């Protein structure tokens, strides 16, 4: 039998028919995996307690014929928000759902693993709704970029010149912006005029570390606008449903 000992962030936990409890988790070395928590009632309930969603656990896995079986589990860190606001709880669940939905099984991406871990750690400390939302937006944008859908935030899609500091026109499907001069030439482009300040925020969220993103001073309305644009962009390019009921 093949064994694997790894740390993992638990993404989801479901009861599945005769198999009992099935967990989805993300590991640094093996990507997203699924494991069955089974065994005698006493043992499995003990294991279950260490396989709670949104915790970091050390798992001992045994490879069965068709699935991994969780043979041992110890919680290393819980990302439960300190003040347990609804926003924090929903945001943490949303991060887990996003990761689960956007990543394929067994595609190891250490970078994504550490990004998720860092985001959950920072999220647990945020009190303000706008910071919570900003963090989720940064995670989503970085995640889709790591998966190969990086928006062009620097140059005009048509003339290739640097985007001027005025309202540019976003075309989500093309993954970038047209400068105002170029858009006049093409009436077919569906217009979504975006403020230069919004483009700057996108750049920070995409290129800088999460701490820097959290230092941005933005109102909740501004963050909501940016968040919904990023969600729309990510949904179009990943072709996966990520519009979970949230905020
Ligand atoms: Zn142009």
> Tell me: the pLDDT tens digits for 206-232?
999 999 999 999 999 999 999 999 999
How many domains does the chain divide into? 3
pLDDT at 217: 95
Helix (H) or strand (E) holding 91, with range, is helix 86-102
The answer to whether position 70 is within a domain reads: yes
CATH of the domain at 21: 2.40.50.140
Q: Kindly list the protein residues that place their beta carbon closer than 5 angstroms to ligand 1, a single-atom ion.
A: 156, 158-159, 179, 182
pLDDT at 68: 93
Residue finishing a domain among 45, 78, 111: 78
Domain limits at 187? 152-194
pLDDT band at 160 (very low <50, low <70, confident <90, very high): very high
Percentage of residues in the chain having pLDDT higher than 70: 92
As a whole number of angstroms, the distance between CA 88 and CA 92 comes to: 6
pLDDT at 49: 86
Chain segment 74-118, per-residue pLDDT in tens: 999 988 776 678 888 889 999 999 999 999 898 888 999 999 999
Pairing state between β 152-156 and 3-16:
unpaired
Residue finishing a domain among 78, 97, 126: 78
Angle between helices 110-123 and 86-102 in degrees, nearest 10: 170
How much distance in Å is there from the Cα of 126 to the middle of ligand 1? 39
Torsion, CA 231, CA 236, CA 238, CA 242, rounded to 10: 40
The answer to whether position 22 is within a domain reads: yes
Angle between helices 220-238 and 129-146 in degrees, nearest 10: 20
CA 35 to centroid of chain Cα atoms: 21
How much distance in Å is there from the Cα of 11 to the middle of ligand 1? 42
């Amino acid at each position: 039998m093949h064994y694997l000992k790894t740390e993992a962030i638990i993404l989801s936990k479901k009861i599945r028919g005769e198999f009992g409890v099935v967990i989805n988790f993300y590991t640094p070395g093996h990507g997203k995996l699924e494991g069955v928590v089974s065994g005698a009632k006493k043992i499995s309930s003990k294991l279950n307690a260490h396989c709670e969603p949104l915790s970091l656990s050390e798992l001992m896995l045994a490879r069965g014929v068709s699935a991994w079986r969780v043979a041992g589990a110890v919680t290393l860190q819980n990302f439960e928000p300190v003040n347990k606001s609804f926003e924090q709880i929903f945001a943490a669940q949303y991060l887990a759902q996003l990761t689960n939905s956007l990543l394929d099984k067994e595609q190891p991406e250490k970078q994504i693993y550490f990004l998720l871990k860092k985001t959950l750690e920072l999220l647990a400390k945020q009190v303000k709704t706008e910071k919570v939302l900003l963090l989720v937006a940064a995670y989503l944008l970085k995640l889709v970029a790591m998966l190969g859908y990086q928006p062009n935030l620097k140059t005009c899609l048509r003339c290739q010149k640097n985007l001027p500091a005025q309202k540019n026109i976003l075309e989500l499907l093309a993954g970038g912006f047209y400068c105002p001069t170029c858009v006049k030439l093409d009436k077919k482009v569906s217009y979504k005029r975006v403020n230069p300040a919004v483009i700057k925020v996108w750049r920070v969220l995409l290129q800088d570390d999460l701490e820097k993103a959290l230092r941005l001073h933005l109102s909740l309305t501004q963050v909501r606008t940016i968040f919904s644009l990023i969600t729309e962009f990510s949904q179009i390019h990943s072709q996966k449903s990520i519009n979970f009921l949230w905020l």
